[in-house]
Amino acid sequence: MRKKSAATATTGATAAKKTATAKKTAAPAKKSAATAKKTAATAKKSAATVKKSAATAKKAAAKAPAAKAPAAKAESRVAMVRRARRINRELAEVYPYAHPELDFRNSFELLVATVLSAQTTDLRVNQTTPALFAAYPTPEDMAAADPERLEELIRPTGFFRAKAKSLLGLSAALRDRFDGEVPGRLEDLVTLPGVGRKTANVVLGNAYGVPGITVDTHFGRLVRRFGWTEQTDPEKVEAEIAEIFPKSEWTMLSHRVVFHGRRICHSRKPACGACPIAHDCPSYGEGELDPEKAKKLLKYEKGGQPGQRLRPPADYPGQPAPPLAGR
């Protein structure tokens, strides 16, 4: 019995020794695992710090002012004038038939038609004036017109009451101050009721052959797009454009620019992809660039449609406009 107990004790001691050894062996392994876990946590923390730093740098970069591209070299005055005159020559080739788009047979009819053209289209004026001039062919006739009948005749042009007042006033002035004749000087024309520099230049340039620049909505819009001026006041625009071109070009320049504005270089959506002077235009790209889509934006003879005049010049390549329905 004593022998068996001793053996058992020996076996227990051996087992205890093995267990202690195992525990002693496991401790470093456990410590290594903890160290590895701590290292992994440190690495994760470092990665998060790097990520945060990158985000901070990105945010700071976003707030920082963007680096500006080198500014394009400003166009010199000489270069602009050369380009402007080149555009005029190119427009002359595109619109060799450019003309005033109001129907008229004499200076009085042109003066009246131009006054009526405010805030409406030349087409609507041309559809209205045949009946008007049939009733009142001379300044004397129009000065004696019944205001209500005159208003009714010009009603299609809009603002007919104000326009009727101007027509009655200018007709009376022509009768009383100019012997029933339309004067051929700008200084005299602008004294007539309803007549400003634009109207005066239209009459002078197209009825009397006196050069003038007509700054209407189309002309003003295009010369700014072309970079010829930054002015918006019509008189200042006229003055600056007059310095660029010789006087002999003023009247036809006006027609060409207006023709281009009505047919291709529209206000809201220019047909840039169909523009023959795109290579000289600093505003190229503001409108439709696709050639096929741009072609669909063309108006009047460029789009295969009737023009604005019921009686166009013989060299006009388009179709005459139709008369007003019911007249």
List 216, 290, 295, 302, catalytic entry? 216
Residue 158 region by backbone torsions, left for phi larger than 0, else alpha for psi between -120 and 50, else beta = left
pLDDT for residue 166: 97
Identify whether 68 is a catalytic site residue.
no
Q: Is 122 annotated as catalytic?
A: no
Alpha helix ranges (H) inside the chain: 2-63, 77-94, 107-116, 122-135, 139-143, 147-154, 160-177, 186-189, 197-207, 217-225, 234-242, 250-263, 291-295
The one-letter code for the residue type at 107 is S
**DSSP character at residue 280:** G
Write out the chain's pLDDT in tens, 327 residues: 444 444 444 444 444 454 444 445 444 445 555 554 555 555 466 555 545 555 554 554 455 444 444 556 789 999 999 999 999 999 999 999 999 999 999 999 999 999 999 999 999 999 999 999 999 999 999 999 999 999 999 999 999 999 999 999 999 999 999 999 999 999 999 999 999 999 999 999 999 999 999 999 999 999 999 999 999 999 999 999 999 999 999 999 999 999 999 999 999 999 999 999 999 999 999 999 999 999 999 999 999 999 999 999 999 999 999 998 876
SS3 of residue 310 by DSSP: coil
Give the amino acid at 271. Answer: A
**pTM greater than 0.85 (yes/no):** no
Nearest to 268 by CA among 292, 299, 237: 299
> Out of 103, 122, 163, 198, which one is annotated catalytic?
198
Q: Which of 114, 217, 206 is nearest to 166 (CA)?
A: 114
Half-sphere exposure of 316 (CA within 13 A, CB side): 22
Q: What angle do CA 103, 260, 76 make, to 5 degrees?
A: 135
Q: What is the pLDDT of residue 73?
A: 77
- The reported pLDDT for the residue numbered 325 is 81
